[in-house]
Amino acid sequence: MPLICIGIYALMRDCFDTIKRMRVLSGIQPSGKLHWGNYFAMMRPAIALQDRGEAFLFIANYHALTSVADPDVLREGTRDAALDFLACGLNPEKAVLFRQSDVPEVTELTWILSSVTPMGLLERCHSYKDKIAMGLSPTHALFSYPVLMTADILAYQSNIVPVGRDQKQHIEVARDIAIKFNNRYGETFAIPEPEIGKDVAVVPGIDGKKMSKSYDNHVELFGSEKEIKKRVMRIVTDSTPMEEPKNPDTCNVFALYKLFASPEEIAQMRKQYEAGGYGYGDAKKDLLAKSSDVLRPFRERREELVGQPDYVDSVLAAGAERARSEIEKTLTAVRRAIGLD
C-alpha cells in the first residue's frame, strides 16, 4: 500500500477512535412537564449525541428535591421524564438512561468533591440567587447544587455536556473542581466541555422571555392539543397590522417556527412576513400545524410506552447497573487518590 494511503488510514482510525470514546452526559430535573425549551436546547441535542459517542442521560431526581416537596409529584415526574426521553428517540441500545437516585454513590463523590470546592465558587453562581428570587427555599442543597451536578458529570468521565445556556456556569464550576482535584491529587477526572446549540441557546417563551416552567410562559411538549393551541395563540407579538410587512427577526412566533421547520419552510415564512398581507394569526396557525406534525410521532410513541411500564422499568434498571459500574471505577480511583481506600 502506498505510504500516503497508510497515513490517511491511520488518521481516519484515530479520528474514529476519538469519536467513539467521547462520552456525553446530560440530565434533566423531573420537576415538571417537559417544554419546547427543554426539548430543543437539551433533550434533542443530547439524544442526537447517542450516535456520536457514548451517551449517559439521567433523570436528576436528587436535584429535584431542591424544588419538589411532594413525593407523588417527584415519583410521577421521574416516570414522565423517562417516558419523554424514550418517546423523543432515546435508544436504550445506544444510550444509558438512568435515575440519579439509582446511583447513590454519586452522593459520596459529591461530599469528596465538596472538600476541594471553594465557597467563593458557589457564591458566584447566579442560579442560586435566581432561584431564591423566584421563591425557592434557600436550603443548603440549593446552594451546593452545582457540586452534585459536578459529581454527576465527573463520575462518568464525561467529555461533553449538552445543556441550555443557563447551565453553562455550572459546567464551568465542574471544570474548576475537576482541575483543582487533579492538581491536588493527580490526574483523575476528564475535564468536561459544555455544548450549547447556537440556534437554541435560549428558546423564547410565549411572552418573549426565556421559556421556563417557573415563568409559566412555556408550551408543553406533550400537553393536550387544546392547551398547546391556547398557548400558541397567546404568543406576544407587536401590533403591526395584517397588511403591512413585518420583521420576522424580532417576532417570537417566527423564532419558535424556526425550531420546527426546514430551511425551505423558514425561508418561505420569512418571505410572507416581509411581503405583508400575512398576519400574526396566520403565522401562529402555521406554527401550530408544523409543531404538531413534527411532534406527532413522539406523541404516538409516548402513548405506546405508557402501556409498557415493565419495559420502561427494565430500561431504567439496565441503565442504573451500567452507570453504577462506571461510577464505581471512578470512585475506586478517587478513594485511592485521597487516601480513603
Longest Cα separation, the chain = 74
Question: Which spans in the chain are helix H?
Answer: 3-21, 36-38, 44-48, 61-64, 71-87, 105-114, 119-123, 126-133, 140-155, 168-185, 225-233, 252-260, 263-275, 280-306, 309-338
Report, in Å, the least distance between residue 168 CB and ligand ADP: 8
Report, in Å, the least distance between residue 333 CB and ligand ADP: 28
Report, in Å, the least distance between residue 139 CB and ligand ADP: 17
Alpha-carbon gap, residue 32 to 120, rounded angstroms: 31
Cell output for 241: 397590522
Name residue 266's amino acid: I
Binding partner selected for residue 161 from ligand TRP, ligand ADP, none, CB under the kind-specific 5 to 8 Å limit: ligand TRP
Binding partner selected for residue 210 from ligand TRP, ligand ADP, none, CB under the kind-specific 5 to 8 Å limit: ligand ADP
* Residue of the chain from 153, 200, 255, 312 that contacts ligand TRP (CB under 6 A): 153
Pick between residue 36 and residue 257 the one whose CB is nearest to ligand TRP: 36
Name residue 203's amino acid: V
* Residue of the chain from 54, 84, 152, 286 that contacts ligand TRP (CB under 6 A): 152
Please state whether beta strands 193-195 and 160-162 pair in parallel, antiparallel, or not at all (unpaired): parallel
Alpha-carbon gap, residue 307 to 32, rounded angstroms: 21
* Residue of the chain from 24, 34, 60, 190 that contacts ligand TRP (CB under 6 A): 60
* Residue of the chain from 161, 295, 320, 337 that contacts ligand TRP (CB under 6 A): 161
Report, in Å, the least distance between residue 203 CB and ligand TRP: 13
Q: Contact positions toward ligand ADP, by CB under 6 A?
A: 28-29, 37-38, 41-42, 163-164, 166-167, 202-203, 210-214
Q: Is 207 exposed, middle or buried (0-12, 13-18, 19+ CB in 10 A)?
A: middle
Pick between residue 162 and residue 248 the one whose CB is nearest to ligand TRP: 162
* Residue of the chain from 47, 96, 113, 149 that contacts ligand TRP (CB under 6 A): 149
Alpha-carbon gap, residue 1 to 6, rounded angstroms: 7
Pick between residue 26 and residue 272 the one whose CB is nearest to ligand TRP: 26
159 part of the interface to ligand TRP, by CB under 6 A: no
DSSP 190: P
Binding partner selected for residue 153 from ligand TRP, ligand ADP, none, CB under the kind-specific 5 to 8 Å limit: ligand TRP
Nearest residue relative to ligand ADP (C-beta): 164
Q: What are phi and psi of 314, to 5 degrees?
A: -70, -35
Return the active site residues.
131, 210, 213
* Terminal-to-terminal C-alpha distance of the chain: 51
β-sheet bridge partners, residue 204:
210
Alpha-carbon gap, residue 287 to 293, rounded angstroms: 10
Q: ∠316-320-323 over CA atoms, to 5°?
A: 135
Footprint of ligand TRP on 7-36 (CB under 6 A): 25-29
Q: Which residues of the chain form contacts with ligand TRP (CB under 6 A)?
A: 25-29, 60, 63, 149, 152-153, 161, 163, 167
